[in-house]
């Protein structure tokens, strides 16, 4: 029966000795059943009142929600049942997992007995039943209490910080780089990690290709093909004649931008209205205002929106630009 059960699981998740499946099982035990979700000795700096709440929380979950699945084979004489997860038939003679807290008739295919949140197999068939669904210990606890993103512990204190749909202990919401407290302060999220404005600007802000200075959080920027400029007439301008290009078509060439073909080729600018031009439209956005803990802000990343271009017609000189683009002011987002 054990072999029949394991044969239903993905090969890399069967816990044979010294196999990838054994490593997977150990990893999932620690992830799905965090010891700090039930024992105060594995937590850091809990107040006495918080320890009492943790004990009550753990006891209630064990009493009302905790269970362990059992594996049985349906007798061939019995018609079978429907899997609670996939909705397909479990026939007579098939192996199935039963969870008593879900009711006598509730059963699953072995490969379908997964946490309703993370969709991972429930390690050692340990489950928590809540509102008609089965969960691993981690995600069941999170349905009842918020979890601190910094220390991974359940929050029992009366106050916590909430930002970006996540929670932190009041003292744990700090800059990822310098660890300065960010409670009530402006911050920027980058890859789901909060940064104070100073650290973000020092480590992650872009350099302007026009003036060579940092582009600050409160400053708009232009972005094109990995290049960045302050969204100002002084920085985003023709590299030859200095004509402001904000909201105007431009020609990129060898890392520089120009207002006309004449400027790009080093000759005098062509008078407005002459010559063939084609361009793509961009969009205008405002500078990013760094957030506070109560304000939702876009997650900072290195992905920048780019200008688009129409396909140029073939020309004799491959270095001679023939099509215009329009710059798109961009946020630090």
- All domains in the chain, ordered by first residue: 1-143 (2.10.110.10), 219-266 (2.10.110.10)
Sheet holding 221-224, edge to edge: 227-230, 221-224, 328-330
Q: Phi and psi dihedrals of 286, rounded to 5?
A: -95, 165
Looking at residue 191, its pLDDT comes to 84
For the entire predicted model, the pTM comes to 0.66
Is pLDDT at 301 greater than 80 in this prediction? no
Per-range mean pLDDT, top range of 59-73, 239-253, 268-282, 305-319: 59-73
Contact indicator for 232, 214 with CB cutoff of 8 Å: no
Q: What is the DSSP letter of 231?
A: S
State both tokens at 213. Answer: 């200075």
Q: For the chain, how far is it from start to end, CA to CA, in angstroms?
A: 54
How sure is the predictor about 326, in pLDDT bands with cuts at 50, 70 and 90?
low
How sure is the predictor about 90, in pLDDT bands with cuts at 50, 70 and 90?
very high
What contacts 93, CB < 8 A, 6 or more positions away?
Answer: 73, 74, 75, 76
Q: What is the pLDDT of residues 235-257, one digit of tens each?
A: 999 999 999 998 888 988 888 99
* Rounded Cα gap, residues 2 and 177, in angstroms: 49
- The residue count of the chain comes to 333
Query: Between these two residues, 323 and 152, which has the higher pLDDT value?
Result: 152
Which residue from 185, 134, 199 is spatially nearest to 293, judged by alpha carbons? 185
Burial class of residue 170 (count of CB atoms within 10 Å of its CB; 0-12, 13-18, 19+) = middle
What 3-state DSSP class applies to 60? helix
């Amino acid at each position: 029966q054990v072999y029949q059960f394991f044969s239903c699981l993905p090969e890399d998740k069967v816990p044979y000795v010294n196999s990838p499946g054994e490593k997977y099982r150990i990893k999932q035990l620690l992830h799905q059943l965090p010891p700090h979700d039930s024992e105060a000795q594995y937590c850091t700096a809990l107040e006495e009142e918080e320890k009492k709440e943790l004990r009550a929380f753990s006891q209630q979950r064990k009493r009302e929600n905790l269970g362990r699945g059992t594996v049985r084979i349906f007798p061939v004489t019995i018609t079978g049942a429907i899997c609670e997860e996939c909705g397909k038939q479990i026939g007579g003679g098939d192996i199935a997992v039963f969870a008593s807290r879900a009711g006598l008739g509730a059963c699953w295919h072995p490969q379908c007995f997964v946490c309703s949140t993370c969709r991972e197999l429930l390690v050692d068939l340990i489950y928590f039943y809540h509102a008609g669904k089965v969960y691993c210990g981690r995600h069941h606890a999170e349905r009842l209490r918020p979890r601190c993103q910094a220390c991974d512990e359940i929050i029992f204190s009366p106050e916590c910080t909430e930002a970006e749909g996540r929670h932190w202990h009041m003292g744990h919401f700090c800059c990822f780089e310098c660890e300065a407290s960010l409670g009530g302060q402006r911050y920027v999220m980058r890859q789901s990690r909060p940064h104070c404005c100073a650290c973000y600007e020092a480590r992650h802000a872009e350099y302007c290709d026009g003036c060579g200075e940092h582009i600050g959080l409160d400053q708009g920027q232009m972005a094109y093909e990995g290049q960045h400029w302050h969204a100002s007439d002084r920085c985003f301008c023709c590299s030859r004649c200095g004509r402001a290009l904000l909201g105007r078509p431009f020609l990129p060439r060898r890392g520089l931008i120009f207002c006309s073909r004449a400027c790009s080729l080093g000759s005098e600018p062509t008078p407005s209205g002459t010559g063939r031009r084609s361009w793509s439209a961009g969009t205008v956005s405002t500078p990013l205002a760094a957030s506070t803990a109560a304000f939702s802000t876009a997650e900072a990343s290195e992905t920048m929106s780019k200008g688009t271009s129409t396909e140029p017609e073939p020309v004799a000189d491959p270095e001679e630009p023939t099509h215009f683009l329009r710059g798109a002011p961009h946020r630090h987002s």
